[in-house]
Amino acid sequence: MSKNPVKQTRTVTMHLDAGNASMVELGKMLGPTGIPPFAVKKEYDALTASSRGEIIPAVVTFTPDRKWSMRLKTPPTSALIRTALGGSQGSSRPGHDSCGSLTRQQLRAIAQRKLPDLNTSDVEVAMRIVAGTARSMGVRVAS
C-alpha cells in the first residue's frame, strides 16, 4: 500500500448565462460540494463579461479539501446555430419541416468557434459535426 493517498478530484459542469450567473443555479450545483458559490460566481462573471447574452458552460474541478479550479468551454452548438438563424428555436418536426437555412460561411464560423471543444482539429470535419446538429434541429445546410 502506498503511504500517499491519491486525492480524488470531481467535476461539475454548469451551463450559465455569461457575465451574470444565477446564484440559485450555482447554489444547487455547488452546495453539496462545500465550494463557496459566491467565489465561483465572481470568477465566472469576470471571465465571461465580454460574452454577455450567451450561455457559456463551465467545468469546476474540485478536491475534497475544497480547492477548486474552473475551465470555460464554448457555447453549445445548438445555441450558436440559433444565433446564426436570428433566434429561431428549431423545427418542431425535424426532417419534415424546416425552420431556416445555414450558409457555408455561417457553418464554417460556427465550426471554427466550436473547434477547441470538438474531438477533431480539422475544420472540414468540424463543419460536418455542426451540420449534423443543424439537421437534427430541422435547419437546412447549404451544400
Quickly state the pLDDT bin for 132 (edges 50, 70, 90). Answer: very high
Contact 130, 114 (CB under 8 A): yes
Quickly state the pLDDT bin for 4 (edges 50, 70, 90). Answer: low
CA–CA dist 21, 24 (Å, integer): 9
Contact 111, 130 (CB under 8 A): yes
Cell numbers for 9: 478530484
- Of the two residues 85 and 89, the one the predictor is more confident about is 85
AA identity, residue 78: S
Cell numbers for 104: 457555408
- Of the two residues 28 and 3, the one the predictor is more confident about is 28
Task: Judge if pTM exceeds 0.75.
Answer: yes
Mean residue pLDDT across the chain? 88
For position 104, what pLDDT does the model report?
A: 94
Cell numbers for 125: 470535419
Residues near 32 by beta carbon (within 8 Å), at least 6 away in sequence? none
